């Protein structure tokens, strides 16, 4: 649709645009910024005002987001392949993107100062990022944009019918715009508070331009991640986001299990990896030393005790079992007698996406709570600034701030048995892990965290099913289009849809609850490498899906007629 064919009424956009200008003037009057900062903020305000105008001035049918189509059509994107992509080509693209991902995690931000505070330290493995690198923001902006679109669409704040191809195209395009907005929203407060530029760069170009240098690198790195995700989805196998999460968590588990180097700042010679640590204690400790505390150190001493390795293995087994559980609907071909099959409805029907979205949501809660608590400017905001109810943090360990009070504390993940079980069963011996909290506060933390993970995953599971054509209506059309039908029922998509409605909505809710409970429970058991139980759960599920996807691709290579059933060209 060309720009001249989009119906617009500029008068509708006057008030929203004036509101953006008014907010800029309020900020300018409050901060009295330098000329460079005022210019840069002005440029950002002009960009946002333009987006507001394009949306608010749209006067056609449907959502105001249709007014953004000229912007969406000009955004950089990865071209979709024409026709079928061969299996070898997909594997080549997937491996190439994975290599680029690891390379980006090892490219440090130019001009970054030595001391930084990592706002995502608790969620590094899940967000597939590396602190201080081009991948500092990881997949955070991508997943946050998806969360906003799903919540607004599900709550009918955004009027889009995702069964309509035109509305679905706008939904996906607007999500791309939101990714850019979230890159700025997540990078600017960090750079202006915690990712300070080095003194050498400041002396060379000035403080404002030094900060812009870091922001630009964060923006480029984050958008490259977005394009890499698109590349894997269109030219590779599976999802780029899932691939990056699995790669980061696998690296953390490998390092946490086999690292022979001592933990940084520990002041001891004890290896930080679980297996080298066990061998070190057995080699350098006498029988009396082991009985006097050595065995306890092997089992429980951070950062990677034996209990964490056992917990990782237990989570692995549970997830493999749950992932293999499914309901199978019998199918028969309507025209070819004897041709039968089954349509599997997994127990984890919504996959691991709800947990990824919940982890990203909690990471953003943690980030903004820390910004409002200790950011030089945001901590002075009225009501929200330095408000312990939103979240108070212990920043004595500069690179790893820990929430101690408020909302951020109660939604923060529990990282292993030492965070909850040991202090509750033996407060005299392990009370230090409890900090200044009372036992009832720790119990409330457990209940609130588990509840948020379970119910939040249910909500995101329902939204995900509706936005990815996995609902009863879409699946019924897919089965009908392949020529299959359910034995004993008329060959009518409405009949198939009614049968599927008996299973899919219920399994969706159940799968959301299961993955939420497994993620929270895995966090509480603890894992090696600070990979988090959620990270292990995601990685196991991702690898199982990747294995099945590879099998499906190979099957389509051998039997091209199956491509239509799987929705391939």
Whether 58 shows a pLDDT value over 50: the answer reads yes
Number of H helices, E strands in the chain: 22, 5
pLDDT of 440 above 50:
yes
pLDDT tens digits, one per residue of 207-256: 888 888 999 999 999 999 989 999 998 888 888 888 898 888 888 899 88
Peptide bond into 303 cis (omega under 30): yes
Cα of first residue to Cα of last residue in the chain, in angstroms, is 25
Q: Find all residues with CB under 8 Å of 399, minimum gap 6, and list them.
A: 116, 117, 118, 121, 131
- Cβ atoms of 101 and 228 within 8 Å: the answer is yes
Residue 208 main-chain phi, psi, to 5 deg: -65, -45
Instruction: Give residue 1's pLDDT.
Output: 41
Classified as helix, coil or strand, 502 is coil
- Looking at the chain, the whole-number percentage of residues with pLDDT higher than 70 is 92
When pLDDT is averaged across residues 269-288 and rounded to a whole number, the result is 87
Burial of 362 (0-12, 13-18, 19+ CB in 10 A): buried
| Cα Rg of the chain, angstroms | 26
Mean pLDDT, residues 139-153 = 84
At residue 444, the pLDDT reads 93
The CATH code that applies to domain 75-258+338-563 is 1.10.3370.10
Residue 97 has pLDDT above 90, yes or no: yes
Q: What does the DSSP assignment read for 399-459? A: TS-EEEEHHHHHHSPP-SGGGTHHHHH-HHHHGGGGTT--HHHHHHHHHHHHHHHHHHHHH
Beta carbons of 120 and 127 less than 8 angstroms apart: yes
List, for residues 309-349, the tens digit of each pLDDT value. Answer: 888 888 888 888 888 888 877 777 666 565 666 778 888 88
Highest mean pLDDT among 11-25, 64-78, 532-546: 11-25
Q: What is the model's pLDDT at position 2?
A: 43
Whether residue 51 has pLDDT greater than 80: yes
Residue 447, pLDDT > 90, answer yes
- Bigger pLDDT: 530 or 94? 94
Q: Read off the pLDDT of each residue in 377-399 and give the average, rounded to a whole number.
A: 81
Whether 150 contacts 357, CB under 8 Å: yes
- Report the pLDDT value the prediction gives residue 206, as an integer from 0 to 100: 83
Q: How far apart are CA 90 and CA 553, in angstroms?
A: 9
User: Of the ranges 10-24, 42-56, 289-303, which one carries the lowest mean pLDDT score?
Assistant: 289-303
Average pLDDT, rounded, for the chain: 83
Residue 338's pLDDT is 56
Handedness of CA 29, 33, 34, 35 (dihedral sign): negative
Is pLDDT of 130 > 70?
yes
Beta bridge partners of 297: none
Which pLDDT tens digit goes with each residue over 13-45?
A: 899 999 999 988 988 887 777 777 788 788 888
What does the buried/exposed string (b/e) look like for 78-110 if buried means 16 or more CB atoms within 10 Å of the residue's CB? eeeeeeebebeebeebbeebbeebeebbeeebe
The whole-angstrom separation of Cα 406 and Cα 384 is: 12
SS3 468: coil
As a whole number of angstroms, the distance between CA 536 and CA 251 comes to: 11
Choose the weakest-confidence range: 51-60, 237-246, 469-478: 469-478
Q: How confident is the model at residue 87 (pLDDT cuts 50, 70, 90)?
A: confident
Residue 560, pLDDT score: 59
CB atoms within 10 A of CB 388: 15
Among the listed residues 176, 186, 181, the one whose alpha carbon sits nearest the alpha carbon of residue 78? 176
Task: Give the residue from 84, 74, 198, 182 showing the smallest Cα distance to 132.
Answer: 198
Q: Does 100 score more than 50 pLDDT? A: yes
Residue 197 falls in which region: left (phi positive, over 0), alpha (psi -120 to 50) or beta:
beta
- Of 109-118, 371-380, 478-487, 559-568, the poorest mean pLDDT is in 559-568
Kindly list the domain boundaries of the chain, sorted by start residue: 1-74, 75-258+338-563, 260-303
Helices (H), 110-206: 140-154, 165-191, 199-205
């Amino acid at each position: 649709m060309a720009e001249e064919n989009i119906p617009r009424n500029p008068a509708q956009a006057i008030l929203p645009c004036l509101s953006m200008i008014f907010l800029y003037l309020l900020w300018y009057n409050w901060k009295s910024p330098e000329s460079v900062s005022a210019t840069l903020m002005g440029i950002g305000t002009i960009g946002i005002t333009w987006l507001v105008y394009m949306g608010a001035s749209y006067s056609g049918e449907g959502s105001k987001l249709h007014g953004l189509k000229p912007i969406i059509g000009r955004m950089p994107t990865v071209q979709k392949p024409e026709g079928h992509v061969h299996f070898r080509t997909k594997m080549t693209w997937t491996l190439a993107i994975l290599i680029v991902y690891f390379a980006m995690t090892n490219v440090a931000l130019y001009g970054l100062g030595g001391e930084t505070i990592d706002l995502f330290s608790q969620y590094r493995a899940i967000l597939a990022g590396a602190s201080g690198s081009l991948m500092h923001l990881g997949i955070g902006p991508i997943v946050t944009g998806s969360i906003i679109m799903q919540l607004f669409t599900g709550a009918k704040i955004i009027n889009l019918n995702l069964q309509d191809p035109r509305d679905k195209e706008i939904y996906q395009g607007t999500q791309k715009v939101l990714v850019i907005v979230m890159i700025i929203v997540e990078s600017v407060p960090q750079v202006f508070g915690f990712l300070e530029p080095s003194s050498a760069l400041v002396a060379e170009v000035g403080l404002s331009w030094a900060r812009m240098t870091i922001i630009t690198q964060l923006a480029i790195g984050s958008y490259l991640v977005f394009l890499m995700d698109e590349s894997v989805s269109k030219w590779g196998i599976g999802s780029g986001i899932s691939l990056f999460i699995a790669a980061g968590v696998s690296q953390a588990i490998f390092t946490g299990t086999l690292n022979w180097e001592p933990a940084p700042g520990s002041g001891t010679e004890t290896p930080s990896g679980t297996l080298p640590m066990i061998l070190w204690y057995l080699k350098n400790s006498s029988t009396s030393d082991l009985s006097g505390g050595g065995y306890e150190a092997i089992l429980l001493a951070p950062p990677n005790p034996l209990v964490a390795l056992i917990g990782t293995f237990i989570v692995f087994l549970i997830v493999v079992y749950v992932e293999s559980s499914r309901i199978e609907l019998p199918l028969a071909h309507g025209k070819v007698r004897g041709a039968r099959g089954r349509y599997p409805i997994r127990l984890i029907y919504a996959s691991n996406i709800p947990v990824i979205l919940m982890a990203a949501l909690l990471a953003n809660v943690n980030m903004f709570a820390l910004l409002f608590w200790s950011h030089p400017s945001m901590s002075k905001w009225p009501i929200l600034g330095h408000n312990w109810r939103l979240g108070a943090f212990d920043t004595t360990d500069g690179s790893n701030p820990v929430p101690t009070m408020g909302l951020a504390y109660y939604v923060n993940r529990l990282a292993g048995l030492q965070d909850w079980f040991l202090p509750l069963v033996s407060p005299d011996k392990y009370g230090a892990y409890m900090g200044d909290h009372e036992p009832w506060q720790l119990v409330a933390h457990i209940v609130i965290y588990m509840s948020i993970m379970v119910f939040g995953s249910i909500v995101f599971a329902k939204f995900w099913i509706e936005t990815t054509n996995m609902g009863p209506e879409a699946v019924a059309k897919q089965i009908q289009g392949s020529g299959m039908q359910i034995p004993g029922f008329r060959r009518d998509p409405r009949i198939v849809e009614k049968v599927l409605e008996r299973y899919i909505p219920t399994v969706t809710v159940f799968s959301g609850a299961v993955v939420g409970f497994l993620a929270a429970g895995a966090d509480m058991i603890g894992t090696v490498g600070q990979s988090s139980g959620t990270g292990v759960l995601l990685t196991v599920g991702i690898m199982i899906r990747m294995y099945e996807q590879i099998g499906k691709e190979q099957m389509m290579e051998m039997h091209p007629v199956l491509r239509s059933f799987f929705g391939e060209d």
